[in-house]
Amino acid sequence: MTLNSEEHVIQEERSACERKGSVGGTVVNWPSPARRLLIAGTGSGVGKTTVTLGIMRALTRNGWKVQPFKCGPDYIDPTYHTAVTGVPSRNLDSWMCGPDGMRDIFVRRANGADIAIMEGVMGLYDGRRADSDEGSSASVAKQMDCPVLLVIDASGMARSAAAMVAGFQHFDAEVRIAGVIANNVGSERHGKLLREAIESACGVPLIGFVLRDTGLAVPERHLGLVPAIERGTLDSLFERMADAVEAHTDLNEIVRIAESAPLRNMDDLSLGAADSNDIPSKQSSFSSVREAGQELGVTQEPLRLALAYDAAFHFYYPDNMELLEACGFELVRFSPLADEPVPDGVDGLYIGGGFPEAFAPELAKCSRALASIRQVIEAGTPTFAECGGYMLLTERLVLTDGSVYPLIGILPGETRMGTKLAALGYREVTGEAGNFLLPMEQMARGHEFHYSTVHVEEAQALPPAYRSRGLAGERPEGAVYQDRLQLVAGYTHIHFGSNSAIVTNWAQACVAFRQKRL
């Protein structure tokens, strides 16, 4: 069903409700509120990404400006969102960023959009812990005062679908499930039965359904998927998803649900149901890093930060990049995979995560790039390497088939790939001695996900960069040079919004290095 043209016009009474507020130190205007909707699933694998992408593309091709968001720490789904909408997607993570940081991200991005659509993570109530909703989609929905569209896998059920929806409705009264979309529906007749069951028993509408179609499966989310998306290779799949959703879904009702979010000042969105967060929320503000950059003089003479970016290294939180730029960094990209050396005259180096193991034979041949990275680090350039970047700095990479590929070797030891997850989950990291980004006892939050492990002989081991705490307890993590080199490396993907002092600490180190270099 296509949108009525009048639905695209922001209602006059909402336009009249514009409020002024301060975001990152700048006064902006935004509708109060932006249309907003969270699409969540009953669990992983029910098809919420397919449904979300279909809705986003359907609205976009109907002329709407959709601002996409992803709940949680995932890097890949936001890439899909950006591809189907043409608008950069952002992560909303109630645990890593805290309520205020999450609100700031939302307000800065949703301002000016016709509708904000957030894709949930795992099941609606799944998050950091089993005994709370910390880090869950439900937590985001409550903090953002946002209606929820629940996606269910309806294969093999009719009235039982209503029982499942009712359970999600009553589990937490503060979460407002405003509609349901059924995936994997066998026929239009099946869809009609589901509508009768859910609407009669649960009192919420079945907004639509998606017929079973194995061709709508989202491709494997690794091995160079990002460049495939950027080349437009998956455009036909995204169009097919939009067709499948739009065929049996009331888009106008989706918009009405998004408009049902309470009329309230966006500044107040963080006041309800906040996760516990010991990290001061003020540290997530863009104004603090901007002021620090002004004090250091880098807003007038930007610092040049080399950023490794290609198919092997592309896992970066966009908000981390924007915090760096707000402080006065100029991000200069280069591709290790294309054997490009680190650009000349840089003041810092950032090597993020990705899939170096997928390109091990190619990387091992990029001698010019690898040698330049080692040279820049040995010159004392303040460097941060996380996950894939951490792996790259070890001596060699051992794949699961036993093949061995030489790497940079500025860190002792070898990285070994495994067939099972080595680590997964949220992390709170505390800096150790020699960590110029996160000095001793300073904390930040992030996420860990990898199949590899780093193995070092005890006599060669460097001091750890952090103490890392997850649900399984606390352990040392990463590596740091405490004397001649300014290098911090570890597996945890840190969200700088959890402690923006990371950005200012990095800027201070880069200013000192530039003065010494010049």
Catalytic residues: 387
Region of residue 47 (phi > 0: left; psi between -120 and 50: alpha; otherwise: beta): left
- CA-based nearest residue to 20, from 11, 10, 32, 12: 32
DSSP-assigned beta bridge partners for residue 304: 330
Buried b (16+ CB within 10 A) or exposed e, 280-307: ebebbbbbbbbbbbeebebbeeebbbbb
Dihedrals phi, psi of 468, to nearest 5 degrees? -110, 130
Question: Contact, 286 vs 320, CB < 8 A?
Answer: no
The Cα 478–Cα 29 span in angstroms is 43
Cβ of 190: how many Cβ atoms within 10 Å?
20
Provide CB contacts within 8 A for 173, sequence distance 6+.
none
The Cα 254–Cα 241 span in angstroms is 16
The Cα 386–Cα 392 span in angstroms is 10
DSSP 421-471: -SEEEEEEEEE-TT-SSS-BT-EEEEEEEESEEEE--GGGPPPPSEEEEET
ω into 33 cis (within 30 of 0): yes
Specify the DSSP class assigned to residue 158. Answer: S
Helix 76-85 vs helix 235-247: crossing angle, to nearest 10: 80
3-state secondary structure of 18: coil
Provide CB contacts within 8 A for 459, sequence distance 6+.
none
